[in-house]
């Protein structure tokens, strides 16, 4: 536990662990009706497969990349979350509300784990936990039925138990942490990074190898068995397949190193925007003034660039000033996060500070340069470390003699929470447009009695298939005259129809949040995939979600798909 006697401002005794738990639930409950979104269907389909064949979790076919493929080749995530969804579905059903309520459990586990881990490192564990929870990265991720929040829950508890086990020589804690490392890695492969992170931490803390190192063999053995089992089941080991996919896709879609770094910084800053409001408590006046000047210079420097990644900084009306201001603020906030980790290590130079530094730097390197694309899902692990670093920095400034009133440590959470909830709401409204579109399109075309297929995936595919329609297969589909094909404007794996074979009959419009978006190419927002834009979210005019209905006019043999 943090025991520095020089701390001048402490959390009142009335603030207990219940506070981040209640705040987490209150923030997420309004979104339990959110439509299934982005990669949610992949996890849900695998969960339903597990209910019928628990040992063959990916033994089915799915059309996700435009043609039917084995699920084992489509998904690059381990099945840990799918087993949890299968259990929740067996107990409560597969409705949106049932599954979102089930996913409150890992979200609360993250809040609790952050609180208890922060107690080891700083004097303000409640605020550290709230700083982690009240972020766009955490709240949006926690409203999805994907593996990210579950991974983070097992990650933070593994770190907490391991740190206590090493410091207090408690072998039970080390064993439980080892099991959680395996669970984390089998929830999302990035959890494998815990092996290196905790090995380095322990080596610095203990100054030598010891029995603690043997416990790391437990997750390694489990992962080896998993790799061999998936190779036996599907012809290739799941872990090696995921690494191969990431390397191949990332290299094929690579952009300039500088653009990668800038995009990673913007995603860091946007995911953890809380740091922006705590700036006056973290840095001296000279550093703050320098940061403002640097941000202004950065904005104007970017005006001379043509693009960041694939996103053009100019349009027909000139420079996209709104984008540049948002991008610069987020990127500089990302720089502040890295600076916070470096400053903490420079100040303390111990195993705890090294753990936090490697946690942050490792996530930045992985998300920006190694993962197949920058996205908030790969940035998410930083929220816990940065929440703790933030409060450690305030402790250090108090120790240096600066008096900080309690309200000054709390009020920055208010604008941070407001922004996080607005971004979550924007993503919520966007997700719901796909569900509404599927229902309205089904009702509209049902009376015609025509065969209906569709392009696009994500939640739209889930709801279209639930209404009896089939995803278009670019290799095998052979539409005939009179068939209807639905093409969404904002989705993935969409292809053009051959010329003169189809006629546009109707356009369906659905309006998400009009002024804030998580995935909007025109604004440069790419929360789930940075190749859509270098911002995790963006403020600006948001286009309606459009779904185009085409009717095939030529016979099958003349379509030529």
Helix (H, G, I), strand (E, B) or coil at 119: helix
Q: Is residue 543 part of a domain?
A: yes
Which of these ranges, 268-272, 520-524, 528-532, has the smallest mean pLDDT? 528-532
Is there a contact between 49 and 58 (Cβ–Cβ < 8 Å)? yes
Which residue range is the domain that position 491 belongs to? 426-559
Q: Is the pLDDT of residue 561 over 50?
A: no
Collapsed DSSP state (helix, strand, coil) of residue 162: helix
pLDDT for 24: 97
Q: How many independent structural domains does the chain possess?
A: 1
The closest of 48, 24, 267 to 142, measured between CA atoms, is 24
Convert the pLDDT of each residue in 122-174 to its tens digit: 999 999 999 999 999 999 999 999 999 999 999 999 999 999 999 999 999 99
pLDDT of residue 555: 52
Mean pLDDT of 448-461: 87
Within 8 A by CB and 6+ apart from 404, the residues are 8, 9, 281, 394, 397, 398
With cut-offs at 50, 70 and 90, classify the pLDDT of residue 8: very low
Residue 520 lies in a domain: yes
What is residue 222's three-state secondary structure?
Answer: helix
**Does the structure show a pLDDT above 60 at 249?**
no
What pLDDT does residue 6 have?
A: 37
- Phi/psi for 485 (5° steps) reads -120, 130
Using CA atoms, how far apart are residues 128 and 386, in angstroms rounded to an integer? Answer: 8
Phi, psi for residue 110 in degrees, rounded to 5: -65, -45
User: For residues 471 and 452, what is the distance between their CA atoms, to the nearest angstrom?
Assistant: 9
Instruction: Assess if residue 143 is contained within a domain.
Output: no
**Which pLDDT band, with edges at 50, 70 and 90, does 247 fall under?**
low
Give dist(CA 341, CA 336) in Å, integer. 9
> CA neighbours within 13 Å on the CB side: how many for 350?
7
The DSSP bridge pattern shows strands 484-488 and 452-454 to be parallel
Closest CA to 429 of 37, 27, 23: 37
Q: 524 in a domain, yes or no?
A: yes
Q: What is the 3-state secondary structure (H, E, C) of 363-426?
A: HHHHHHHHCCCCCHHHHCCHHHHHHHHHHHHHHHHHHCCCCCCHHHHHCCHHHHHHHHHHHHHH
Average pLDDT (69-93) is: 94
Residue 225 counted as domain residue: no
For residue 494, name the pLDDT band (cuts at 50, 70, 90): confident
Residue 130 lies in a domain: no
- Is the model's pLDDT at 33 over the cut of 70? yes
Return left, alpha or beta for 461; rule: phi > 0 is left, psi -120 to 50 is alpha, else beta.
alpha
Report percent pLDDT > 90 for the chain. Answer: 68
Going by the DSSP 8-state scheme, the letter that residue 535 receives in this structure is B
Collapse the DSSP code of 450 into the 3-class scheme (helix H, G, I; strand E, B; otherwise coil) and give the result.
coil
Both tokens of residue 358? 């490697």
- Confidence class for position 87, pLDDT limits 50, 70, 90: very high
Q: How confident is the model at residue 15 (pLDDT cuts 50, 70, 90)?
A: low
Reply yes or no on whether the pLDDT at 184 is more than 80. Answer: yes
What pLDDT sits at residue 356?
Answer: 97
Whether pLDDT at 453 is above 80: yes
Residue 323: closest CA among 530, 533, 524: 524
What is the sign, positive or negative, of the torsion defined by CA atoms of 375, 376, 380, 385? positive
* Residue 43 located in a structural domain: no
Q: Average pLDDT of the chain?
A: 89
8 found inside a domain? no
pLDDT reading at 558 higher than 70: no
């Amino acid at each position: 536990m943090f025991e520095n006697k020089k701390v001048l401002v402490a959390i009142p005794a009335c603030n207990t662990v219940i506070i981040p738990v209640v705040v987490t639930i209150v923030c997420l409950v309004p979104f339990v009706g959110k439509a299934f979104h982005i990669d949610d269907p992949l996890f849900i389909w695998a969960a339903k497969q597990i209910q019928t064949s628990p040992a063959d979790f990916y033994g089915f076919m799915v059309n996700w990349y435009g043609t039917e493929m084995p699920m084992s080749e489509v998904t690059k995530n381990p099945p840990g979350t799918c087993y949890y969804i299968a259990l929740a579905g067996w107990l409560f059903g597969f409705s949106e509300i049932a599954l979102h309520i089930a996913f409150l459990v890992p979200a609360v586990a993250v809040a609790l784990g952050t609180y208890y881990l922060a107690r080891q490192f700083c004097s303000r564990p409640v605020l550290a936990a709230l700083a982690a929870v009240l972020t766009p990265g955490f709240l949006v991720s926690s409203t999805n039925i994907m593996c990210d929040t579950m991974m983070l829950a097992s990650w933070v508890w593994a770190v907490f138990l391991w740190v206590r086990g090493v410091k207090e020589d408690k072998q039970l804690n080390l064993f439980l942490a080892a099991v959680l490392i395996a669970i984390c890695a089998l929830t999302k492969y990035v959890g494998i990074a815990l092996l290196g992170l905790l090995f380095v931490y322990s080596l610095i803390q203990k100054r030598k190898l010891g029995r603690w190192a043997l416990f790391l063999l437990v997750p390694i053995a489990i992962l080896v068995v998993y790799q061999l089992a998936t190779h036996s089941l599907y012809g290739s080991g799941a872990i090696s397949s995921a690494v191969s996919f990431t390397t191949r896709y990332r290299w094929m879609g690579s952009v300039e190193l500088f653009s990668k770094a800038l995009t990673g910084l913007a995603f860091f800053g946007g995911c953890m925007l809380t740091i922006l409001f705590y700036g006056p408590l973290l840095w001296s006046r000279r550093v703050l003034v320098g940061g403002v000047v640097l941000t202004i210079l950065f904005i104007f420097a970017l005006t001379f660039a043509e693009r960041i990644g694939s996103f053009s900084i100019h349009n027909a009306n000139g420079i996209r000033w709104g984008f540049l201001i948002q991008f610069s603020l987020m990127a500089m906030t990302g720089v502040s996060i890295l600076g916070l980790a470096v400053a903490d290590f420079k100040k303390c130079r111990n195993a705890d500070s090294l753990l936090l530094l490697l946690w942050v730097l490792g996530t930045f390197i992985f998300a920006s340069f190694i993962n197949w694309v920058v996205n908030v899902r790969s940035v998410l692990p930083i929220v816990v470390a940065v929440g703790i670093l933030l409060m450690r920095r305030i402790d250090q400034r108090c120790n240096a003699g600066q008096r900080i009133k309690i309200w000054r440590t709390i009020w920055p959470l208010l604008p941070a929470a407001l922004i996080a909830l607005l971004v979550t709401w924007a993503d919520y409204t966007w997700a719901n447009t796909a569900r509404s579109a599927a229902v309205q399109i089904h009702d509209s075309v049902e009376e015609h009695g025509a065969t209906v297929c569709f392009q696009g995936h994500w939640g739209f595919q889930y709801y279209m298939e639930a209404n009896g329609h089939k995803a278009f297969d670019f290799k095998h589909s052979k539409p005939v005259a009179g068939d209807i094909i639905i093409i969404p404007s904002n989705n993935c794996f969409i292809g053009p129809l051959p010329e003169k074979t189809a006629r546009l009959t109707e356009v369906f419009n659905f309006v998400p949040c009009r002024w804030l978006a998580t995935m909007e190419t025109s604004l440069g927002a790419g929360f789930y995939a940075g190749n859509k834009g270098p911002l995790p979210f963006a403020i600006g005019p948001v286009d309606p979600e459009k779904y185009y209905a085409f009717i095939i006019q030529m016979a099958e043999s003349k379509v030529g798909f």
